[in-house]
Amino acid sequence: MFKDELVIDVIANGKEKYMNSEAVVFNETTLTYKQLENRVKRFTEALAGFGMKKGDRLALLLPTSLNFLTCWLGASGLGVITVGLNVRYRESELSYMLDQSAPRLLVVSPEFADTNMLEIIEKIRPKTVEQVIIDSDRKIKDYCTITEFTDRWAEKGQAIQPESVYPEDGNFIIYTSGTTGKPKAALLTSRSILSMCRALGKAMAVTSSDRLLNALPLNHVGGATILAINSLMHGSTLILQDSFHPEKYARAIQEKKITVTGGVPTMLAILLSSGLYKEFDLSSLRLVIFGGSPAPPVILDSLQKELNCRIMSCYGLTEVSGFCTGTSLLDAADKILYTVGKPLEGIDYKVVNQSGSPVDKGEAGEILVRGDIVIPGYYLGPDNIDTCRDEDGWLHTGDIALVDNDGYISIVGRVKEMYITGGYNVYPPEIEDCLCQHPGVLLAAVIGVPDSIFGEVGKAYVLPKPGSELTPEILAAYCREKLADYKIPRTFEVVDSFPMTPLGKIRKSELKDMFRNQ
């Protein structure tokens, strides 16, 4: 009888069911399920030997890697809460997150890209961090490497009997992306993670013969739960890349015979615009799953035609441990292009108006979600959780949705991003989708800005495709052909780049700051 209540059970089950099958591939290293379980167990023992206990925090400031995965899973064996940090975070962000989560141990990649991470940590290291461990094969100053830490403490930890760990205990802290405000420390549990993975894995029809490519950060639900734990839970092979590079990504699909991959719309747009999908054999792909932010239908349509595989359009957020809706593998093209499908198995939802009453089919309202996938809340400190559910267990997502007559859900905007111009509600994703249909547009973002007559009007920021020449006049004329007059942005600005989160979402809060500072 296999247990599947805790994240660590995924590894124990994998060893028994898929012992000598490939579990994880990272660069030149391949581990079977048996080898992965042994490595995870040894790190669990090292943490116990050091004195880590249930509820303590272990912070990981690492790119997507085998060591990130094994450290997280090893911490899960003790009930130690992993704090996922992204190597692309800025100094001020890291300082806030480390102070707020107060970890006892911090594992850090000494360098990433052109950033010296150790220099940053030396400046902002909080007093709670008793030891900094480096993910490196070489000795740097007096820092302890992961191998040295494990060798020093594992034997002592073998004699320690850890506290019991339960499905509702905290497992993983993920800081929300903060596209519209300060990030919160979302506390995922084993129950929320595994409930989501069971439902999503079933919808994706994931099996032990699949090979999943993950180039998303492991400090985000996209990389951590949707792809990594989902893969390991079903005995698949997980191929990790430390970051997304279109050529490296396409090459891995060809050489590793990838069957399933996933990403955010920005990644898909870059892959298509690069033309690399034509240079590599991507025929092994059976499924591309995406979410994280609304995807323009024109991108999905191109993706489906060019890659000749199934596309699964999903909706989710950190607070549901991943995805909570998705199209099915049998859905018609229009449902995939224009909706995010239906709720996954075991998930309740409703769409309500501002007074909390359910709306009619086809009417927009806030989508509420309920089920085991919903996290208990935001971590404020030991035994101090700021709940994200109401008294009936509903998570108020802050997203505006409508449901068609077939029960398919469309996300039309964020409650906080919707703006009212002359009495009309305007949802930025609709305008962004329209702009992205222009042959010269790669990405677009629309925000509401103050206006003395209409209250608010739209301002559009547009990133052109390489080689295309766009002007505000061209964009305005295009929108006049496609949109009602009140939806057309008052101003357009062509930009060279967007402020992005580490996952690849556009930071609209920074766009609003840019406007205010102009």
The conformation of residue 357, written as its DSSP 8-state character, comes to P
Q: In the structure, what pLDDT confidence band is assigned to residue 293 with cuts at 50, 70 and 90?
A: low
Strands 115-116 and 81-85, by their bridges, are: unpaired
Tens-place pLDDT, residues 439-461: 999 999 999 998 888 888 999 99
**Averaged pLDDT, 478-501:** 91
Tell me: pLDDT of 15 over 70. yes
**Averaged pLDDT, 471-487:** 92
Q: In the structure, what pLDDT confidence band is assigned to residue 183 with cuts at 50, 70 and 90?
A: confident
Tens-place pLDDT, residues 35-63: 999 999 999 999 999 999 999 999 999 99
Structure tokens at 436: 């992205």
Tell me: pLDDT of 19 over 70. yes
Structure tokens at 447: 């925000």
Q: What is the pLDDT of residue 3?
A: 65
The conformation of residue 500, written as its DSSP 8-state character, comes to B
For 30-175, CATH gives 3.40.50.980
Q: What is the pLDDT of residue 179?
A: 47
Tell me: pLDDT of 182 over 70. no
- Which 3 state secondary structure label does DSSP give 351? strand
Give which of 380, 427, 406 is closest to 328, Cα–Cα. Answer: 406
Tell me: pLDDT of 178 over 50. yes
- Tell me if 30-175 shares its fold with 419-517: no
Tell me: pLDDT of 291 over 90. no
**Averaged pLDDT, 183-202:** 96
Is the separation of the CB atoms in 437 and 298 below 8 Å?
A: yes
Is residue 480 within a helix (H) or strand (E), and if so which, with residue range?
helix 472-482
CA angle, corner 177, sides to 466 and 348, nearest 5? 110
Structure tokens at 121: 């940590």
* Residue-range domain boundaries for the chain: 30-175, 419-517
Tens-place pLDDT, residues 364-409: 999 999 999 999 999 998 889 999 999 999 999 999 999 999 999 9
**Averaged pLDDT, 417-434:** 83
**Averaged pLDDT, 132-161:** 94
Tell me: pLDDT of 329 over 60. yes
- Which 3 state secondary structure label does DSSP give 18? helix
DSSP code per residue over 447-463: EEEEETTTEEEEEEEEE
CA gap 260, 247 in Å, rounded? 17
Q: What is the pLDDT of residue 210?
A: 98
Tell me: pLDDT of 117 over 60. yes
For 419-517, CATH gives 3.30.300.30
